Amino acid sequence: MSLDHLTTSNFCLKMIKPKVTLVNLIPGLLGDVEDIELRIEKYGVNVIPQKPPPSFLQLAWEAIQDPLLIVLCCAAALTIGLSFYHPPPDEAQGRLTLSTVTA
């Protein structure tokens, strides 16, 4: 079995069609203005289209669905709600101790 078909140049020579003569295996494309314009007409511009960035609302919706953020928002709401509650002085010590032990 011959291994000459495994070299790059032999593979490229077998793959090049006889009509294409503007490609050289050593330097590559010719780089002429006519050659470049012909290839742009035939194949189009070599550019990958970029995806549009997500909008602020899409980013906010993704952030709201995060479980950690949900827990933090609930804790903040509970803290704000408890900040308005002022128990009588005799009950404050017991409830404070109970809430500290439970947390």
Tens-digit pLDDT profile for residues 36-59: 888 889 888 888 889 999 999 999
Residue among 22, 59, 60 nearest 42 (CA):
22
Please tell me which residue, 97 or 9, carries the higher pLDDT value. 97
* Tokens linked to 35: 């050659």
Considering the chain, what is the average pLDDT of its residues? 77
Please tell me which residue, 18 or 64, carries the higher pLDDT value. 64
Q: Sign (positive/negative) of CA torsion 93, 96, 100, 102? A: positive
Whether pLDDT at 89 is above 70: no
* Tokens linked to 31: 């780089």
Beta bridge partners of 29: 23
Output the pLDDT for position 96.
72
Beta bridge partners of 23: 29
pTM of the predicted protein model: 0.37
